Amino acid sequence: MDFSYLSRRTFLQGTGTTAAGVAITGTLGAGGIAVAEDASWAFEPKALDETTIRGLIAMARQLYPHDFLDDGPYVKVVADLDASAAEDADLQKLLTDGVSGLGVVVSGDASHDVAFHAQSRGLQLRAMKREEADNNAFFEAVRGATLGGLYGNPEVAAALGFEGSAVEHGGYLDRGFDDIDWLPQSS
């Protein structure tokens, strides 16, 4: 039984990651980059270059894909990572080198550079599984940040059925705590 994956942060603060989230600007600012086809999800990078940011967004979505989500919540995860990297040179290097590593497509004895965000879904998964098997602090850092950031995002959690804070609504006593309707009547 191995709980070594269970970092203090993931266990206790899984839903707290968004508290320190950075604002995502609605427009493309000076020096900013459009990180998706839709420029409304651009943000001002603080530490990471465009290739790294695009790669991390693609990776976050491949880690925890949901068809009902657009790129917005994944971009927010990466914006948070970028903000953390601005305070932590080791993290900046880890993320930059990590995405660079994902941008290697191995084919037989040869390898080729193809930016991770531009790879097909199958090639991306191949690269991610290779990184996951190899090591890997980078993979786990991004996975942990995506877990906490994506599912700690109240809108994402609500879409999945977690209804969030109840005290301001008077709890669930009159809001369906016992409303189950599919169970046969128990004797």
Partner 1 sequence: MARTYDLNDDSVVVIIGSGAGGGTLGHELSEKGIDVVCLEAGPRLDLGDIVNDWGTMGARLSWNDKRIGTGVLNPGYPLWVCKTVGGTTVHWAGASLRFQEHEWKVRTVYGDVPGATLLDWPIDAAEMDPYYSRAEDKLGTTGTHGIPRLPGNNNYKVMEYGAKKLGYQTVHTGNMSINPEPRDGRPGCVQLGFCMAGCAIGAKWSVLYSEVPKAEATGHFELRPESMVVRVLHDDSGKATGVEYLDADGNLQMQKARVVAVAGNSVETPRLLLNSASGMFPDGLANSSGQVGRNYMRHLTATVYAVMPGAVHFDRGTQMAGIVMDEVRNDTSRGFAGGYLMETLPGFGVAAIAGNVGGMAVDTPGTWGRDYTREVIENYRNMAGMWLVGEDMPQADNRVTLHDTEKDQYGLPIPVVHFDEHPNDLAMRNHAYRMGSAVYEAAGASKTYELPPFPGTHNLGTCRMSANAADGVCGPTGATHDIPNLFISDGSQFTTGAAENPTLTIVALAIRQAELMAEAMRTNSI
96 binds partner 1 (CB under 8 A): no
- Binders of partner 1 among residues 118 to 157 (CB under 8 A) are 125, 143-144, 147-148, 150-152, 156-157
For Cα atoms 78, 84, 97, give the angle at the middle one, nearest 5 degrees: 70
Give min distance, CB of 41 to partner 1, in A: 21
Residue 6 vs 89, nearer CB to partner 1: 6
Give min distance, CB of 68 to partner 1, in A: 9
Q: With beta carbons less than 8 A apart as the criterion, state whether 72 and 41 touch.
A: yes
Give min distance, CB of 156 to partner 1, in A: 7
65 binds partner 1 (CB under 8 A): yes
14 binds partner 1 (CB under 8 A): yes
- Residues lying near partner 1 in the complex (CB under 8 A) are found at 1, 3-8, 10-17, 19, 62-66, 125, 143-144, 147-148, 150-152, 156-157, 160-167, 170-173, 175-184, 186-187
